[in-house]
């Protein structure tokens, strides 16, 4: 095999997920084997650039690519003294003065994301951020306008096709002016990379028509994997040698309880199935998951365990089944059955000091006020009408009250009942025109992110995860997993349940027998294929929120590897003079001209 170097460069590179994936690509055509080499990356985040070198082995460049006008619109104040706009020469310097064959751009996507409201996305701040897409393309084209890169690939969230349509049209016109054929498409990173997450992305692919005549085909699709395939190969969260990125976050006790009651594969709406009475769960009692004989009861004829300093019923088998019982002691407020024998009559015979009350079945009709709040059956006789008509003068009327308008004020119709007649004044105050709707969330509107984003969602162990986002948290998406493995270093809880807002790491066995817990930061990196499950990683810094933002912004390395293999094959075909190749995959970038011949310069001159 003859090695051929393929150089790639990255704008808005972040921590380098895309660059790492390209480095792993290994395309082959005939006796040629492509070897990808990263020229570098450029990003405004210094912490991300430090991690870029960690993942790719190549230094990156810290540089703000905004114009002065964009900077002021985004930050709300002019640039500081000494700040200057980036130029095409800065892009060349970031690539080490070399020309790349492939340029990969993954511009900031916050302004295009569906997690940002439509009103915020139109503000000057986020419009300035969105315009970085166009400026990044322009800087790239100008940097190598005399010898353009063969391929450019622009990646973003799918919603850019709607919210950023005006920018995409300008980008397409700009690319065509520099000699590129352009196509827009979408893909699932999980399917092309064989990931354990489904991550749909927008892709704009540009092929320089003069340099690359062949079609550019889409990478083949693979089957999504289960999160358990990835997480199962990793150490349990919390073990000492797993590192700071593999720790369970400390959440409020009420949050742990919510997660435990969310069914695996569902989200917060699963909690609507629970029966709540007076603010408490009706069908469940939550108690600490004690161990070592919690609330244990010793048999009368069996020995007890070791007596400890804190020997209490709630921390061991420190109770006894005592067969001696006289039936009378400790019977405060006891009520005797009508057929039972009373105990000894003592000097202290009040209800609060023994069983000195009786369940009397007799009805004393002569008792004063015996009819207070009494309801007479419809078929029964009323009592005597007296001047004190407030006693015993109610009736159990079986007739429906939905007809007369005056009796139907603010009536609520049951979901399984028929409505009253629709009249001209059909309002909730005039007749039965309100309904007890059992379906949750109907007051929310289409596009409501809280309704659709899977808050408090729990991913089953056998299912793939959703797209890893920059702000992945247990309460803003499906970022909890139903882990069937017991927790590492699990310790018995205290004697009492925590307060609702107490922060702690809890292991609650959910109804499905698993531990519903948030993904750790290291697990998110593994789902993004930034590391193999067996690898150890500690990114620069000490903040989980910063790490998660960089991981969520990254392009999955395996998806980038698949894209790199397809692009590398296209370049190798172009450099060997091939203008046609059969492939079962769909054409990615349709050429505007067919059957172009390539410049037959020596291969070493072109590479």
pLDDT of the residue at 97:
96
Predicted confidence (pLDDT) at residue 295 exceeds the cutoff of 90: no
For residue 488, the Cα-to-chain-centroid distance in whole angstroms is: 24
- Dihedral over Cα of 592, 595, 596, 602: its sign: positive
Which residue bears the tokens 């693979």? 222
User: Phi then psi for 214, rounded to 5 degrees?
Assistant: -65, 160
* 594 band by pLDDT with thresholds 50, 70 and 90: very low
Residue 81 in any domain: the answer is: yes
Angstrom distance (rounded) from CA 219 to CA 530? 19
pLDDT of the residue at 602:
45
What's the whole-number mean pLDDT along residues 260-280? 87
pLDDT of the residue at 415:
67
Angstrom distance (rounded) from CA 361 to CA 338? 7
Predicted confidence (pLDDT) at residue 328 exceeds the cutoff of 50: no
Residue 156 in any domain: the answer is: yes
Compute how many other C-beta atoms are within 10 angstroms of the C-beta atom of residue 326: 9
Task: Tell me the pLDDT tens digit for each residue of 188-232.
Answer: 999 989 999 999 999 899 999 999 876 666 677 889 999 999 999
Across 63-72, 103-112, 366-375, 472-481, which has the greatest mean pLDDT?
63-72
**123 touches 131 (CB < 8 A):** no
Residue 37 in any domain: the answer is: yes
Task: Outline where 144-186 has alpha helix (H).
Answer: 160-163, 165-177
Residue 373 in any domain: the answer is: no
**130 touches 164 (CB < 8 A):** yes
pLDDT of the residue at 17:
95
Q: CB-based contacts of 10: which residues, under 8 Å, 6+ apart?
A: 16, 18, 19, 38, 40, 41, 42, 103, 104, 105, 106
> In a 3-state reduction of DSSP, which class is residue 603?
helix
Angstrom distance (rounded) from CA 544 to CA 466? 19
Tokens of 495: 């004697």
Does this model's pTM top 0.85?
A: no
CATH number at residue 585: 3.40.50.150
* 292 band by pLDDT with thresholds 50, 70 and 90: low
Q: How many domains does the chain have?
A: 1
Task: Tell me the pLDDT tens digit for each residue of 361-375.
Answer: 875 555 455 666 677
Element (H, E) at 565: helix 557-575
**488 touches 238 (CB < 8 A):** yes
Residue 251 in any domain: the answer is: no
Predicted confidence (pLDDT) at residue 592 exceeds the cutoff of 90: no
* CA end-to-end span of the chain: 16
Predicted confidence (pLDDT) at residue 435 exceeds the cutoff of 90: no
Predicted confidence (pLDDT) at residue 172 exceeds the cutoff of 90: yes
**15 touches 554 (CB < 8 A):** yes
Q: Which of 182-196, 305-319, 512-526, 590-604 has the lowest mean pLDDT?
A: 590-604
Predicted confidence (pLDDT) at residue 130 exceeds the cutoff of 70: yes
**Which neighbouring-strand residues pair with 358?**
336
* 54 band by pLDDT with thresholds 50, 70 and 90: very high
Q: Strand 32-43 vs strand 61-62: parallel, antiparallel, or unpaired?
A: parallel
Nearest CA to 470 out of 571, 352, 552 is that of 552
pLDDT of the residue at 400:
62
* 381 band by pLDDT with thresholds 50, 70 and 90: confident
Residue 348 in any domain: the answer is: no
Angstrom distance (rounded) from CA 214 to CA 591? 8
Residue 432 in any domain: the answer is: no
**569 touches 29 (CB < 8 A):** yes
Give the chain's mean pLDDT. 81
Which range of residues forms the domain containing residue 206?
2-229+553-606
3-state secondary structure 493-548: CCCCCCCCCCEECCCCECCCCCEEEECCHHHHHHHCCCCCCCCCCCCCCCCHHHHH
Give the HSE-up count for residue 501: Cα atoms under 13 Å, Cβ half-sphere.
0
Quick one: DSSP state of residue 465? B
Across 97-101, 201-205, 323-327, 363-367, which has the greatest mean pLDDT?
97-101
């Amino acid at each position: 095999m003859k090695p051929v170097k393929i150089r790639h460069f990255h704008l808005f590179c972040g921590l380098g997920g895309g660059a790492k994936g390209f480095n792993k690509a290994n395309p082959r055509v005939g006796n040629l084997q492509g070897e990808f080499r990263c020229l570098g990356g450029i990003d405004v985040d210094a912490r991300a650039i430090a991690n870029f070198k960690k993942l790719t082995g190549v230094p990156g460049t810290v540089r703000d690519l905004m114009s002065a006008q964009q900077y002021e619109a985004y930050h709300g104040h002019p640039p500081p003294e000494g700040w200057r706009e980036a130029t095409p020469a800065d892009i060349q310097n970031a690539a080490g003065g070399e020309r790349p064959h492939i340029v990969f751009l993954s511009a900031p996507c916050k302004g295009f994301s569906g997690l940002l409201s439509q009103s915020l996305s139109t503000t000057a701040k986020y419009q300035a951020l969105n315009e970085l897409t166009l400026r990044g393309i322009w800087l790239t084209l100008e940097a190598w306008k005399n010898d353009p890169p063969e391929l450019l690939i622009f990646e973003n969230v799918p919603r850019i096709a709607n919210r950023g349509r005006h920018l995409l049209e300008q980008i397409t016109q700009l690319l065509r002016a520099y000699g590129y054929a352009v196509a827009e498409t979408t893909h699932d990173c999980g399917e092309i990379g064989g990931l354990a997450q489904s991550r749909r992305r927008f892709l704009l692919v540009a092929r320089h028509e003069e340099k690359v005549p062949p079609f550019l085909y889409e990478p083949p699709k693979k089957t999504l994997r289960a999160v358990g395939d990835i997480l199962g190969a990793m150490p349990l969260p919390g073990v000492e040698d797993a590192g700071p990125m593999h720790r369970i976050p400390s959440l409020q006790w009420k949050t742990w309880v919510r997660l435990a009651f969310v069914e695996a594969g569902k989200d917060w709406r699963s909690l609507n199935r629970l029966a709540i009475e007076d603010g408490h769960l009706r069908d469940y009692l939550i108690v600490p998951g004690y161990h070592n004989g919690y609330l244990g009861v010793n048999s009368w004829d069996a020995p007890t365990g070791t007596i400890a300093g804190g020997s209490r019923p709630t921390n061991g088998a420190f109770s006894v089944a005592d067969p001696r019982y006289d039936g009378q002691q400790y019977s405060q407020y006891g009520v005797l059955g009508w057929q039972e024998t009373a105990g000894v009559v003592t000097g202290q015979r009040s209800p609060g000091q023994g069983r000195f009350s009786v369940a009397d079945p007799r009805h004393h009709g002569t008792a004063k006020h015996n009819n207070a709040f009494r309801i007479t059956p419809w078929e029964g006789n009323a009592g005597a009408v007296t001047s004190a008509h407030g006693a015993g003068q109610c009736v159990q009327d079986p007739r429906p009250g939905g007809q007369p308008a005056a009796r139907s004020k603010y009536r609520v119709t049951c979901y399984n009942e028929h409505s009253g007649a629709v009249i001209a004044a059909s309002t909730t105050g005039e007749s039965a025109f309100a309904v007890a709707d059992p379906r949750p969330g109907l007051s929310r509107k289409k596009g409501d992110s809280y309704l659709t984003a899977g808050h408090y969602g729990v991913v089953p162990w056998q299912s793939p995860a959703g797209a890893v986002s920059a702000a992945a948290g247990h309460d803003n998406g499906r970022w909890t997993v139903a882990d069937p493995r017991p927790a590492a270093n699990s310790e018995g809880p205290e004697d009492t349940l925590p307060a609702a807002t107490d922060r702690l790491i809890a292991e609650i066995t959910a109804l499905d027998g698993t531990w519903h817990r948030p993904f750790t930061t290291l697990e998110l990196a593994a789902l993004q294929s930034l590391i193999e499950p067996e690898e150890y990683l500690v990114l620069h810094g000490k903040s989980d929120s910063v790490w998660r933002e960089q991981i969520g912004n990254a392009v999955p390395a395996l998806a980038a590897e698949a894209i790199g293999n397809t692009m590398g094959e296209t370049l190798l075909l172009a450099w060997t003079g091939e203008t046609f190749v059969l492939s079962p995959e769909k054409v990615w970038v349709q050429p505007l001209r067919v059957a172009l011949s390539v410049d037959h310069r020596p291969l070493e001159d072109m590479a």
